[in-house]
Amino acid sequence: MKHQIQHVGEFSFIESKPDSTEYPLVLLHGLMGALSNFETIIDHFYEEMNVVVPMLPIFEMPLKSLSVDGLVEHVYQFIKFKGYEKVHVLGNSLGGHICQLLALTYPDVVHSIILTGSSGLFESAMGNTFPKRGSYEYVKAKTEMVFYNPESATQELIDEVFATVNDLGKCIRIVKTAKSAVRHNLEDKLKDIKQPVLLIWGKDDEVTPMWVGQKFHELLPNSELHLFDNCGHVAMMEHPEEFNRLLGSFLQRVSNEVVS
């Protein structure tokens, strides 16, 4: 990743235009996600607006505090630390779950939401049980499942996931966070999210299937849904040009809207 990660106190992040007066675009990665998942978004919007990626401290937060709620609080404290008045939040997988809870808990700081392959209603990835730590083939199959084309799962990515789940401390944290996410089903609360929401979903998503995106669209009162053919769980990686076109159009449209 060519973009420099800054470390200030308890926060690690990248930021493209810190002096911008417009609302920043905050990208929240998933449980096994990394900066590389958002590389095409960062590169596309880096010079155009303030793109911010806070690193979620899944592997650094005190274990007793580690939960979806704890990660939401971390993101909120980061927003206040940076002095952002409001933000556009974009989340994939667990990151999308955090976006929703942030909007429900601290609605005044969220201007709009972009969800792609988000948890919050249903997800089927590593599961909420202990992963098969010694099985490379298991990890390889689970990593490939994220993509429509299994060959998109590079050797580097598979090795990175394998190393993570074979680190006992990290594995415990992954399972604890996943269990916390499962307990935070938001079906009954989504009606309270009034911000405009852009939903981008892969029709071939095996982690958060297409019907999950359709259910989000049904439950979120101010949402629009776009479905991608030949696309799995990471639309921004598999169809970057169309994803960025939709994202740019949405941000331009909602930036001047007043959210009550």
Give the tens place of pLDDT for each residue, 125-184: 544 444 555 688 888 888 888 999 988 888 888 888 888 888 888 888 888 888 888 888
Which residue is listed with tokens 């993101």? 75
Bridging pattern class, strands 87-92 and 51-54: unpaired
pLDDT value at residue 134: 63
> Which of the listed ranges 60-69, 157-166, 216-225, 251-260 does the model predict with the highest average pLDDT?
216-225
Q: Which of 15-29, 58-72, 229-243 has the lowest mean pLDDT?
A: 58-72
Q: What are phi and psi of 190, to 5 degrees?
A: -65, -25
pLDDT value at residue 15: 95
Residue 46 corresponds to which amino acid?
Y
- Contact status, residue 118 vs residue 93, Cβ threshold 8 Å: yes
Domains defined along the chain, listed by start: 6-122+184-254 (3.40.50.1820)
